[in-house]
Structure 1
Amino acid sequence: METSEKIKYFRKTLNISQQTLALGICSTSYLSKIENGQTVPSEDILQLLGKRLGVDLDDENHNQELELLIDDWTKSILFKDVELARNLYTKLKNSTITNIEHRLRFTLSQTLFYLMVDPKPRIAKKHFNEVIILEDLFKNKSRLYFFLVKGVSCYYEGKYSESYKALLSAENLIFLLKLHIWEKGYLYYLLGLVTNMLWKNIASLDYTRIALKHFEENYLFKRCADCRILLGIINQRIENWEEAIRQFELAATIANAFDDDKLKGSIYQNLGYIESKREHSESAINYYKQSLDYKQNQPSLSQVKTVYSLIKEYANLNNSHEGMMLVEKGLKLTQGNKSLLEFNILISYYHLVFSLGKNHSTTFEYLKSEVIQYFEQKQNWVYLAEFYQVAAKYYENEFKYKQSSTFYSKAIMAMNKLN
């Protein structure tokens, strides 16, 4: 990084105005020309500016060891090697990082660290906000990482379109830079994830296959399993059941080899979903129960997804006894947790289904005023496509065909939104 950019970087990170930095050293207009690369300052001015900023502006030490350390730390974060990520973070925090490219990469990776390793969204947001104001300084690899981190941040916030846009900007730089295979693989994996969330099935398949190829070349087997799971999910969405099962079974081979309960929980959850879609409720329940066993030590969100899946299957079988026990478990997991509000609403609906019946007026009023209204506000077409049909069927049974037709039309609209 040029000296002009260094001065601009440190001034901005210290939140110092040009007037304040220039005071007693040079004119503000002269400092502006220095920062814009329009003039080269004398050695004396350079030393005075550096002293006021508290840095050595002459230091051009591109420490290869430090760069490798930051790469290793970033890799440990992206591949969720928690212990290594924590140890390397401690080491880097105690290091003196004078190279601006390294400092930018370090700050960006701090955002990832507090999103993926030590989840603290507010701290992650703070670190990312620190670098947004410096976007014009990002070059080379740090620029690619800026877009990658922006993509990850937006993905965690559920802003999938924004995430996709940022990741595409990162992809545009991928062939201009010298990157590790694992870096390319992870970027393509992220693109596969976000296009999956946007229901861009073909794009998601393509990105995930590229990511899988890179991970296999680097023998990153757990990430290979993640790719297999994602490929299974996409294939099950387009009802290519046999290929979906094949991908999940390949992922299970890796999960068993590493005795990875998190992977097993995800795999059995998806196998249960396939059986549910095939209307094999008993088989689906067996898979979901295995998934829940592996998720006992995982976060509430992971557990409650499987609990809800089991509740739906017991509702299909009219098994109120087993269903109510899981409803109680689900409500306990979601109570007071704003991030799990949608599952609290869904499980509360099934509490009424089991206790009063699906066609009871109280159950239906809750469905219409709480469940459907909530997901309309969220524009969650997956749930709306399902519950619009439930409402349409209710009105049909009540011989209210006009209302029934309205909700069937809404269900078709929701499915078209998904497609």
Structure 2
Amino acid sequence: MKIGERIRFYRHQQNMTQEELANGIISVSYLSKIENNQSLPSEEVIELLCNRLNILLVDETEPNLLDDLKDWYKSIVNQEKDKAVSEYARLKEAVDQRNDSTSMIHFLLFELRYHLLNRDLGSAQKQIKRIEEISTLLTDELLYYFFKFQGLHAYLRSQYSSAYDKYKKAEGFLASNVFEKWEEADLYYSIALTSSRLWKVSICLRYTNQALAIYQAVYNFKRSAECQLLLGISFQRSGEWKKAEESLLLTSKIAETLNDSNLRGMVHHNLGYLFSLQEKSEQAIEHYLKSIEYREQKDYTRKLHSIFSLVMEYYKTKNYELAKGWVKQALYILAEMEEDLVEYEYHFKTYQYLLSDPQSEEFECFLKEKVIPYFSEHNMFEYLATYAEILATYYENSYRYKLSSHYFRVSNDALRNIYKLI
């Protein structure tokens, strides 16, 4: 990093204005030129500026520290949470002591990914803003990480279109940089997962197969299983049920071998969905219940997803009392959580109305003003189609045919978007 860039970087880190740094040394306009590498100052000026910032004249990057930071990042990607947590304080202290801008920028980026591992989205958002202030200092390699991590941040906030765009920007830096194969695979898997959320089935299949080829080559069985799971979901959506079941059963075998309860939960959930698509409700319910059983105690999001699928299946088969019981349990979980999960709040409150007061004006307003706009904004077409049809039927039963026709069109347009993406 050039000296002017280093000065700007550390000034930002210390929340110092140009006026405060330049005072008594040089003019503000001259400092601006130095920071933008438009002027090369004398050694005396550089030394005075560095002394005020309490940094060294030379950026003494220590390869060992940078290697340690990259090892830490790999443990984060591999979800080795205990190792990631134990290394965090040590590396933060080491970076602070060195005053090395290269290590500091790497740490800021990997710290962002660390916050995302811990699902601390508030801290992650603040970190993104800090990094944006120094984004002009980022090399192509660092921009790759920044776009990738912003993609994950958007994904965790259910902003799937934004996540997909960020991941694709990160992919644009792959060709100009040399990354290890596991890093490439992680990006491909992230794009595939986001594509699945957006019902971009053909894109999901392509990127999943790219990731799977790498994971199989390096004998990463867990990630290979997660890829097989994604393939199963994609085959479900394209109506290739036999292929879907084959992929899911293969995932199940790997999950048994690894004794991975979370993976078992995901397999049972998707087998439940597969049987639901085939109108085999009894088998679907059996797998959804197993999925909930295998979900880890604090894995609330995935547990809620399985509970929601179970509620829909019970509702479809007119087991209303069982559906009510699970809705009540889900709303209790949501009330106890610190994190707001708007998507699931809307899902379960919708079914709470359907199971108790489906013709109320309050339900009409809830669907029209909150639920449908939310799923439309997030391009979640499957749910948009379902809830728009429910509202259309509500208006039809109330003899308000103009509004009914409008929401049937909204539902049909959402379905067309799904089939177009497939």
What is the TM-score of this pair, normalised by structure 2? Answer: 0.89
CA shift, 1:335, in A, is 3.1
Spell out the pairing of 1:106-255 with structure 2 (5 A cutoff).
Answer: 106-116=107-117, 118-255=118-255
Is it true that 1:76 corresponds to 2:75 in the alignment?
Answer: yes
Three-state SS of the structure 1 residue aligned to 2:340 is: helix
Three-state SS of the structure 2 residue aligned to 1:239 is: coil
CA shift, 1:405, in A, is 4.4
CA contact (8 A) 1:349 1:366 kept: no
Hey, what does 1:361 align to over in structure 2? 359
CA contact (8 A) 2:262 2:296 kept: no
CA shift, 1:97, in A, is 4.0
CA contact (8 A) 1:228 1:247 kept: yes
Hey, what does 2:367 align to over in structure 1? 371
Spell out the pairing of 1:322-337 with structure 2 (5 A cutoff).
Answer: 322-335=322-335
Three-state SS of the structure 1 residue aligned to 2:199 is: coil
Is it true that 1:339 corresponds to 2:335 in the alignment?
Answer: no
Q: Deviations over 1:161-204 (max 9, x none)?
A: 33222222211111211211111111111111222223222222
Is it true that 1:320 corresponds to 2:316 in the alignment?
Answer: no
Q: After superposing the two structures, state which structure 1 stretch, 336-345 or 378-387, moved more.
A: 336-345
Structure 1 Cα separation of the partners of residues 34 and 120 of structure 2: 38
Q: After superposing the two structures, state which structure 1 stretch, 49-58 or 12-21, moved more.
A: 12-21
CA shift, 1:272, in A, is 0.4
Q: Deviations over 1:134-172 (max 9, x none)?
A: 010001421211211222222222333332222222111
Three-state SS of the structure 1 residue aligned to 2:219 is: coil
What is the TM-score of this pair, normalised by structure 1? Answer: 0.90
Three-state SS of the structure 1 residue aligned to 2:341 is: helix
Please list every run of 5 or more consecutive structure 1 residues that lacks an aligned counterpart in the other structure: none
CA shift, 1:392, in A, is 4.6
CA shift, 1:103, in A, is 1.2
CA contact (8 A) 1:107 1:128 kept: no
Structure 2 Cα separation of the partners of residues 119 and 189 of structure 1: 19
Three-state SS of the structure 2 residue aligned to 1:213 is: helix
One-letter code of the match for 1:178?
A: V
Larger RCO: 1 or 2 (CA < 8 Å, sep 6+): 2
Q: Deviations over 1:331-361 (max 9, x none)?
A: 22223657234434433443454457xxx63
Q: Deviations over 1:373-412 (max 9, x none)?
A: 4222211432231233345556667887666544433321
Spell out the pairing of 1:46-125 with structure 2 (5 A cutoff).
Answer: 46-59=46-59, 61-95=60-94, 96-116=97-117, 118-125=118-125
Q: Deviations over 1:42-95 (max 9, x none)?
A: 322222111100110223x33221121111111111221101111221220121
CA contact (8 A) 1:155 1:194 kept: yes
Structure 1 Cα separation of the partners of residues 43 and 265 of structure 2: 62
**Structure 1's 173 and 388: CA in aligned 2 closer, same or farther, altered over 3 A?**
closer
CA contact (8 A) 2:154 2:163 kept: yes
Please list every run of 5 or more consecutive structure 2 residues that lacks an aligned counterpart in the other structure: none
Structure 2 Cα separation of the partners of residues 147 and 73 of structure 1: 19
Structure 2 Cα separation of the partners of residues 231 and 333 of structure 1: 30
RMSD of equivalent CA atoms: 2.4
Kindly tell me the number of residue pairs found equivalent between the two proteins. 412
**Structure 1's 315 and 63: CA in aligned 2 closer, same or farther, altered over 3 A?**
same
**Structure 1's 98 and 243: CA in aligned 2 closer, same or farther, altered over 3 A?**
farther
Hey, what does 1:28 align to over in structure 2? 28
Structure 2 Cα separation of the partners of residues 402 and 369 of structure 1: 17
